[in-house]
């Protein structure tokens, strides 16, 4: 499935919940969302920045109702890199 089709499929809070469940964690789900968003830009890239991952984590958090503070950009990037997910 093309990234734009996948992104368009994230229209309900349930899909964001499923994304987190499938990815296994919020950082992994945020990385996947950030990467898909990066791939649909005019100049696509496969590796999101730490800020893009944090923005994606905020979007997911808002959709699934996670209260409280999110980890910072550096912490999310570190967790992603620990899982083998590249972050700039």
Torsional sign, CA 66, 71, 75, 77: positive
Alpha helix (H) residue ranges in the chain: 3-8, 13-23, 26-39, 50-64, 73-82
Each residue of 4-55: pLDDT tens digit?
888 888 877 789 999 999 999 999 999 999 999 999 988 999 999 999 999 9
First-to-last alpha carbon distance for the chain, in angstroms, is 25
For the chain, which residues make up each domain, given as ranges?
Answer: 3-82
pLDDT score recorded for residue 8: 84
pTM reported for the whole predicted model? 0.89
């Amino acid at each position: 499935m093309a990234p734009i089709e996948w992104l368009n499929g994230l229209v309900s809070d349930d899909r964001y919940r499923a994304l987190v469940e499938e990815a296994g964690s919020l950082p992994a789900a945020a990385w996947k969302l950030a990467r898909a968003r990066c791939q649909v830009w005019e100049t696509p890239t496969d590796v999101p920045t730490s800020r893009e991952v944090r923005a994606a984590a905020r979007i997911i958090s808002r959709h699934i109702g996670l209260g409280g503070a999110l980890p910072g950009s550096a912490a999310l990037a570190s967790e992603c890199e620990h899982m083998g997910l590249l972050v700039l």
